[in-house]
């Protein structure tokens, strides 16, 4: 995780520095470098997990990119020595290839923001604090669950501390309390009925996982003929039982680190069909929270709502 976090910082920094200090020989050469760098940074901006290093860095790199572009434009200068046509066209060709490839990748990532039809409206399961979406959206580039039925439109949520990070360090560490979301109260995202409760698995020390009991401790809520799964809950924290009627003010449990999860987070998805009162065998349904389709990198700010 530490290496991934450093990657998110290092790569755009290098791209911006190269754009800044490379002496472009023509406006065409500059423009192609501008486009190739821009679409690469757009892709990283879209798919990166900024909460590893700090969400406050996310808007910094686009600003630095624009400053670098202006600075490099002012430094355009024809070379004193003759530039061979071969070298000139190779440079143009490489830039065009980068522009094409990164534009396609960025397009695929940005499609994750498209709101599917028949999206269901739900409330936030977290009521106090600032949170960020690890996985979410309507395409696999921003949602690792997308090709896994019925988790296609699932979201994974972690908390954010005052530095915009999900934990006390970039790597996170093995201590559960280092993670901001651990122990956070989980509320029902709807009016419904509890139809399944599992509260038997121990919280794991990161990065341990339990691949046999994927959801870990979890709750299933019946909602208008559909089922909502809230997973990876803290052992002993579940406050409801099968048959209970709940609404958006009902505290259900606390966020834990049980099941197939490498760190504390809350998994939530909506499904229909399949075998009643069981998980992971229906059809995924898209949903909004607070009238938003939540996509990787989106911040769910509940600091002033409780």
Q: What HEC string does 54-93 produce?
A: CHHHCCHHHHHHHHHHHHHHHCCCCCCCCCCHHHHHHHHH
Got the DSSP string for 132-190?
A: EEEE-SSSTTT-TTTTSTT-TT-EEEEE--TTS-SBSSSS--S-GGGBTTTT-EEE-SS
User: How many CB atoms are located within 10 Å of the residue 23 CB?
Assistant: 12
Q: How far is CA 13 from CA 17, 44, 64, 135, in A?
A: 6, 11, 9, 25
Q: Which residues pair with 267 in a beta bridge?
A: 156, 231
Distance CA 49, CA 287 (A): 22
Using one digit for the tens of pLDDT, what is the confidence trace for 14-55?
A: 999 999 998 888 899 899 999 999 999 999 999 999 999 999
pLDDT at 86: 73
Q: Which two tokens stand for residue 177?
A: 């309390």
Residue pointed to by tokens 């757009």: 42
Q: How far is CA 258 from the centre of its chain?
A: 20
Query: Where in the chain are the domains?
Result: 2-112, 120-301
pLDDT at 162: 95
**120-301 topology per CATH:** Glucose Permease (Domain IIA) (2.70.70)
Asked if residues 7 and 52 have their Cβ atoms less than 8 Å apart, the reply is: no
Q: Locate all alpha helices (DSSP H) within 239-303, ordered by sequence.
A: none
pLDDT at 80: 62
Model confidence pTM above 0.75: yes
Distance CA 288, CA 138 (A): 11
Where the chain has pLDDT below 70, the residues are 1-2, 79-83, 304-306
Question: Does residue 120 sit in helix, strand or coil?
Answer: strand
Rg, Å, the chain Cα set: 23
Distance CA 52, CA 167 (A): 8
pLDDT at 82: 62
Distance CA 268, CA 218 (A): 10
């Amino acid at each position: 995780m530490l290496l991934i976090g450093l990657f998110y910082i290092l790569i755009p920094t290098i791209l911006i520095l190269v754009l800044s200090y490379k002496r472009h020989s023509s406006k065409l050469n500059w423009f192609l470098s501008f486009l190739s760098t821009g679409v690469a940074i757009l892709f990283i901006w879209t798919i990166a997990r900024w909460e590893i290093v700090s969400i406050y860095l996310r808007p910094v790199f686009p600003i630095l990119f624009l400053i670098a572009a202006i600075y490099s434009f002012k430094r355009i200068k024809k070379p004193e020595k003759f530039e061979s046509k071969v070298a000139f066209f190779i440079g143009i060709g490489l830039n065009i290839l980068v522009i094409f490839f990164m534009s396609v990748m960025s397009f695929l990532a940005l499609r994750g923001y498209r709101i599917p039809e028949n999206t269901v409206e739900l409330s936030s399961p977290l009521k106090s604090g600032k949170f960020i979406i690890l996985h979410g959206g309507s395409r696999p580039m921003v949602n690792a669950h997308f090709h896994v039925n019925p988790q296609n439109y699932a979201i994974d949520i972690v908390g954010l501390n005052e530095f915009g990070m999900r934990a006390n360090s970039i790597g996170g560490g093995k201590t559960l309390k280092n993670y901001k979301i651990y122990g956070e109260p989980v509320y029902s995202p709807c009016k419904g009925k509890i139809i399944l409760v599992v509260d038997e698995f121990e919280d794991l020390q990161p990065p341990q996982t339990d691949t046999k009991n994927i959801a870990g401790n979890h709750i299933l809520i019946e909602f208008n003929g559909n089922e909502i799964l809230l997973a990876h809950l803290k052992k002993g924290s579940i406050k409801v039982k099968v048959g209970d009627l709940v609404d958006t003010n009902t505290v259900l449990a606390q966020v834990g680190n049980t099941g197939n999860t490498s760190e504390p987070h809350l998994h939530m998805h909506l499904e229909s069909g399949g075998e009643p009162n069981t998980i992971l065998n229906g059809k995924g349904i898209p949903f909004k929270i607070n009238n938003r389709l939540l996509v990787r990198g989106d911040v769910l700010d509940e600091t002033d709502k409780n």
